[in-house]
Structures are given as structure tokens and as C-alpha cells.
Amino acid sequence: MYDNVHLIDHPLVQHKLTLMRNKEASTNSFRRLLGELASLMAYEVTRDMPTQEVEVQTPLETTRARVIDGKKLVFVSILRAGTGILDGMLNVVPGARVGHIGLYRDPQTLQPVEYYFKMPEAMAERDVVVVDPMLATGNSAVAAVSRIKSLNPRSIKFVCLLTCPEGIAALHAAHPDVPIYTAAIDRQLNEHGYILPGLGDAGDRIFGTK
Ligand code: URA
């Protein structure tokens, strides 16, 4: 339906996601699988990163070969569940910079309120990948992307494990220029804002809280 929604339909990604959906998966397994899955997703998300040719001296001769171009990529984690994806992405792109954004939902207005925002310097020269395991109502994602856009980064992508039609529609309506990368698009949201069939509360399952 949207040409900038990328479904990462790789067998390893789908296998790990299915194991994570299982309510019997331990905190330990859930966290490990999330890290592995995030590393696999990082590979797809960074596929179009710009490169430049440099000269390199091999043990045999001098040649030209490609390296990543420009300022370091920034992963922006939406607290707290974004942390689980962040670690896996950093395994694959260890030199990336990291930003954090903390949002809570105001109980009266149900709108996201920012309580923390810390980004690397020179954001205007950087490509940003915002990470949050669940794109559900889309409210946090829309607020996070709006705030990051105020720093004029070169590009923004949004990465989640799971989303649903409502989440995609909300983020796309507010930010049609931001591509969404996801391992699955589930059926729907329930009345509490949880994705069905989903995997439950990602933050609680990552951190072993209730
Ligand atoms: N956040 C979660 O952790 N799970 C959902 O299903 C929706 C939002």
C-alpha cells in the first residue's frame, strides 16, 4: 500500500520473530533474539548508505576500495524499549553515534510528552535511524521524528520489529518522507494500544518487568 514501507521478510528474521512472539520465551531468550534480529535488520537498513573510494595498501599491492562516506550514522533509540534494538544494530555498525529520546504518554491527553532528548553534534550532516520495537498507535514515533526533524538531519528512517496498519498510517500521514522498516505488519491494534497478535509489551519482555 505504501511504497516506503519495507517488510524484511528474510527467513532468519521471521524465525526469530516467531520465537519472540511465544509467551513462554524467557527474558534472556527474548533479549538475545531481539539483538540478533536487530543485527539482521541493520544489514537491510544500511544497504543504501553512501560510500567513497579510498586507497588501501594490502600486503601485496595498493588498491582502491570503498568505505562508508561522510559523518557517522546516528541510531536514535526511543526509550525504553528502543534500547533492545540499539544494541543489536551497534554490533553491525559499531562506529555509529547514538541519540536517545524519552517520551511518556500524558494520562489526560494521551499525547506523548518529551522528558529526555540527547543527540550527537552536527546532526544536519548525519543520517538518522530511529529505533523502537513496536510501531503501534504511532504517537511516539510521530513525536520523535518531528523533534529530530527540527535538527535538519540529512535523512531519517524508522525501524521497528512489528507494526500494524494503524501505526503505519499514523507515521506515514505525519511523515510521508520517512521510510519504515519492519519484520512484520500484524492485524490490528486493540483498545489498549497493543498490537494483535503481537508479542505483548516489548519493554517488559526485554527488561523482565511487569
Ligand atoms: N508497545 C508494546 O510494547 N507492545 C504493543 O503491542 C504495542 C505497543
154-163: pLDDT as tens digits: 999 999 999 9
User: Is 48 one of the annotated active-site residues of the chain?
Assistant: no
Mean pLDDT over residues 60-74, rounded?
A: 91
Q: What's the structural domain count of the chain?
A: 1
Q: Which CATH number characterizes residue 45's domain?
A: 3.40.50.2020
| 164-175: pLDDT as tens digits | 999 999 999 999
Half-sphere exposure of 136 (CA within 13 A, CB side): 19
> How far is the C-alpha of 197 from the C-alpha of 195, rounded, in Å?
6
Q: Indicate yes or no: pTM above 0.80.
A: yes
Catalytic residue among 21, 32, 105, 154: 105
144, 78 contact by CB (below 8 A)? yes
Please check if 155 is assigned to a binding site: no
Interface confidence (ipTM) of the complex: 0.95
User: Is 201 one of the annotated active-site residues of the chain?
Assistant: yes
Range of the domain at 26: 5-207
Mean pLDDT over residues 7-15, rounded?
A: 96
Confidence of residue 108 (pLDDT cuts 50, 70, 90): confident
pLDDT above 70 covers a percentage of the chain that reads: 100
**Residue 71 has what pLDDT?**
75
**Residue 113 has what pLDDT?**
92
**Residue 10 has what pLDDT?**
95
Cα separation values, 87 from 58, 63, 91, Å: 32, 34, 6
Q: Please list the alpha-helical segments (H only) found in the chain.
A: 11-21, 27-45, 82-92, 139-149, 165-174, 202-207
**Residue 210 has what pLDDT?**
83
**Residue 107 has what pLDDT?**
75
pLDDT at 106 over 90: no
Mean pLDDT over residues 39-53, rounded?
A: 93
Cα(62) to ligand 1 centroid in Å equals: 52
Mean pLDDT, all residues of the chain = 94
Atom of ligand 1 nearest to the CA of 203: 3
Report which DSSP code applies to 73: P
**Residue 72 has what pLDDT?**
83
Q: Report the candidate in 137, 151, 6, 20 with the shortest Cα–Cα distance to residue 85.
A: 20
Please check if 200 is assigned to a binding site: yes
